[in-house]
Structure 1
Amino acid sequence: MTTDPAPATTVAAVPSPAGPTDSSAAATSTAPVTDKASGATVQFVGLRRTFGATTALDGLDLTVNPGELVALLGPSGCGKTTALRMLAGFEMPDSGQVLVDGEDVTRIPAHRRDAGMVFQSYSLFPHLNARDNVAFGLKMRKTGKAERHRRADELLELVGLPTHGDRYPHQLSGGQQQRIALARALALRPRVLLLDEPLSALDAKVRENLREEIRRLQQDLGITTLFVTHDQEEALSMADRVAVMHAGRLEQCDTPAELYARPTTAFVAEFVGTMNRIDGVLAEDGKTVELLGQRLPVDGATELRGEVQVLTRPENVRVTAGGGQGAIVTGTTFLGSSTRLAIQLPDGTSVKADLSTHDAAALPAGTAVTLSLPDRPVLVDTRR
């Protein structure tokens, strides 16, 4: 493993938790900040990190392709932020490597990595106006005042705040402050952009608008981006791929559509979106499962046998009035164009089913119904 410092590289124009970036750096590029960047390939190879008895990362392997936005998604304590901090250089692994374009940067200090980072808390300097906050990293590079102001103004235009350069953080809304933080992270044209739950402190409407803006900028600039979030909607709507983590391990990394439609583990199935568990009996060959009076193929090989639970999403549950199944609608939740029915099976199992609001209107609470699933492979798990 290479541990010697690499030749001087672009410094992240973002103050880290440890303080401002080091001023020693390569000569400042004069290329326009709006030029499409050449995104880097990022690789985590066998990363392990423990904090006392807690294992934060347990052999993480993940590759992020040039210009790709990958969301690290998972519950608190799953290791997603630890992985991001290792790429930023704020955390060192117990073992494993962090590679950027094939170069081992595991032991290279944070200020010598070609990365920009945006934090949840904005981290703007309160005594600097927006223009000077954006230009802070350029000032540390000893870029001339006129040039850094020109580039800062260009970035303010890029993030939609061209008239806000003279305002101080306390004069800006939360969404505006986060746009300034994003502009500052982009000021030195990093090959890698790191976003640590940057939208979680914002209200819903601002969060929705800003995530669209971040995605547009990321695609326009071609910057390889890692986005840490616990919000499924953010991850699924913004990312090229979503890496679902659990207990320090990578459960599945796939496109949002693939992740939602074809989860490979029970954890992913239940963590991403809403999932029903319905009792079934697995055939001796493990290839089919019987439930709700149907026999369905099993998705993938399984070592399970006998009684299992089938995992299926509410939109896959078909509901018809009447029948001898003994299922009863116990409640409805209006969701706009769709309505979610709560249905109780005779054994007490509660099943959610999403129907068009028009169809659901004919199935009020108390209606006896029959449930079925589409004739396609289903995911099975051990009974709880």
Structure 2
Amino acid sequence: MSAPTTSAPVPAPAPGPAPRSGAATVELRGLHRSFGSTTALDGLDLTVRPGELLALLGPSGCGKTTALRMLAGFEHPDSGEILLDGKDVTAVPAHRRDAGMVFQSYSLFPHLNAVDNVAFGLRMRRVGAAERRGRARELLDLVGLADKGDRFPHQLSGGQQQRVALARALALRPRVLLLDEPLSALDAKVRLTLREEIRRVQQELGITTLFITHDQEEALSMADRVAVMRAGRLEQCAAPAELYARPATAFVAEFVGTMSRVPGRLRAADGTVEVLGKRLPVDGTPPAGGDGTEVDVLVRPEAVRVAAGAGPDRVAGASFLGATVRLTVLLGDGTQVKADLPAHDAAALTPGAPVRVSLPDRPVLVSPRPH
């Protein structure tokens, strides 16, 4: 499995303000859902804390969108419970869930201007015209569109349309905000700006938020915690820095960030692994196997040390990333390893240059060798 690329570890976001009064606790308990022979959720257990922004991250088909739609009330589990502040809402219809949802496709009404799009839900609840328009303009101001209220969707950019969709989801003052890959249709620069804006609004309101994404950089930069899913199950849920530095499984290690597999051998007697000519302690529980069992050692690019000069390894390629250069190094046994070096240190390490790769003296994550 090839791992997505990412930059250096993203630190956990600074703690936001205390959750607002009424911020909800969301609990998903033992959710199962199948579509014919396909299992979408396989006993999912997850808790979202009051006022927290939690990102659900995983590959396509892992079940994250099914989980979000169940929380919104658009899908129903075959078994399991959905609780809001301890109250079972599994059978409660979507319009009574007290949740606001922002879709990937925006879903704005083309014949309504921004103010009327935001106020639509309030109109359905028979809120007076003056009050609903005032509330809509407040929310447009909150998302940075105070001067765009009279514009129609076709007069707004994609990023502006998504801000209107966010304001509309907040108009009914929901206790839970649900975001279904809201940035995936936007270009990179707009995504960066809008994810910062969504985080600012979420922190300002202190609203409990579940954010679905397949983009690990979005998840790591925005969320208080990230829940990584695989095949309908939860692999790990942790703060971004912990998820990156201490992945609970090999799947999380390779899915979140870039990870190279380096051949090693277990030394069962002392709980170490022999890799690149040295013995290192194993981080966590070693995989089953006796002394000398072949395993893979999982290493991040920033942990790999590369020394220029005569050595058994060769530089196979280099990618300039600004302040750093990511080298692809071919080890003597044919294994490829990624290594991140400061740009000035990598200047002379051109493809074909002989080098020696090593690892620092600290515990490493070990995975069984795939068969």
- Report the TM range for the smaller structure's normalisation: over 0.9
Residue by residue over 1:232-282, the C-alpha shift from the partner in whole angstroms, topping out at 9 and shown as x without a partner, is 110000000000000000000000000011101000000001000000000
Q: 1:308 aligns with which of 287, 295, 306?
A: 295
Residue by residue over 1:176-197, the C-alpha shift from the partner in whole angstroms, topping out at 9 and shown as x without a partner, is 1000000000001111000000
Contact 1:286 1:303 in 2 (8 A): no
- Establish whether residue 320 from structure 1 lines up as the match of residue 307 from structure 2: yes
* Paired position in structure 1 for 2:5: none
**Distance in 2 separating the partners of 1:286 and 1:50:** 45
Residue by residue over 1:327-364, the C-alpha shift from the partner in whole angstroms, topping out at 9 and shown as x without a partner, is 11111111100001111012111111000001111322
* Paired position in structure 2 for 1:251: 235
Q: 2:96 aligns with which of 112, 128, 143?
A: 112
TM-aligned CA deviation for residue 198 of structure 1: 0.3
Q: 1:270 aligns with which of 254, 268, 272?
A: 254
Q: 1:97 aligns with which of 55, 61, 81?
A: 81
Contact 1:193 1:224 in 2 (8 A): yes
Amino acid at match of 1:331: G
Q: 1:137 aligns with which of 103, 107, 121?
A: 121
TM-aligned CA deviation for residue 366 of structure 1: 1.8
Question: Which structure 2 segments of 5+ residues have no match?
Answer: 1-18
Structure 1 residues 32-181: aligned runs within 5 Å: 36=20, 38-181=22-165
**Distance in 1 separating the partners of 2:259 and 2:21:** 40
Of the structure 1 ranges 35-44 and 270-279, higher mean CA displacement relative to structure 2 is found in 35-44
TM-aligned CA deviation for residue 124 of structure 1: 0.4
Contact 1:317 1:373 in 2 (8 A): yes
* Paired position in structure 2 for 1:382: 368
Question: TM-score, length-normalised on structure 2?
Answer: 0.92
Residue by residue over 1:116-135, the C-alpha shift from the partner in whole angstroms, topping out at 9 and shown as x without a partner, is 00000000011111101000
Contact 1:280 1:290 in 2 (8 A): yes
Contact 2:287 2:366 in 1 (8 A): no
TM-aligned CA deviation for residue 285 of structure 1: 3.7
* Paired position in structure 2 for 1:345: 331
- Establish whether residue 217 from structure 1 lines up as the match of residue 201 from structure 2: yes
TM-aligned CA deviation for residue 41 of structure 1: 0.3
**Distance in 1 separating the partners of 2:286 and 2:365:** 10
* Paired position in structure 2 for 1:332: 318
Question: TM-score, length-normalised on structure 1?
Answer: 0.89
**Distance in 1 separating the partners of 2:269 and 2:184:** 47
* Paired position in structure 2 for 1:29: none
Amino acid at match of 1:322: G
TM-aligned CA deviation for residue 284 of structure 1: 2.3
Contact 1:308 1:382 in 2 (8 A): yes
Instruction: Find runs of 4+ consecutive structure 1 residues off by over 6 angstroms.
Output: none
**Distance in 2 separating the partners of 1:152 and 1:172:** 17
Residue by residue over 1:1-45, the C-alpha shift from the partner in whole angstroms, topping out at 9 and shown as x without a partner, is xxxxxxxxxxxxxxxxxxxxxxxxxxxxxxxxxx94531000000
Task: Give % identity.
Answer: 74
- Establish whether residue 357 from structure 1 lines up as the match of residue 343 from structure 2: yes
Structure 1 residues 361-372: aligned runs within 5 Å: 361-372=347-358
* Paired position in structure 1 for 2:279: 295
Aligned residues: 349
RMSD across aligned C-alpha pairs, in angstroms?
Answer: 1.2
Contact 1:38 1:67 in 2 (8 A): no
Amino acid at match of 1:375: D
Q: 1:373 aligns with which of 344, 356, 359?
A: 359
Contact 1:286 1:301 in 2 (8 A): no
Question: Which structure 1 segments of 5+ residues have no match?
Answer: 1-34
**Distance in 1 separating the partners of 2:284 and 2:259:** 18
**Distance in 2 separating the partners of 1:100 and 1:251:** 23
Partner of 2:106, secondary structure, is coil
Amino acid at match of 1:355: L
**Distance in 1 separating the partners of 2:86 and 2:95:** 19
**Distance in 1 separating the partners of 2:203 and 2:294:** 47
TM-aligned CA deviation for residue 383 of structure 1: 1.4
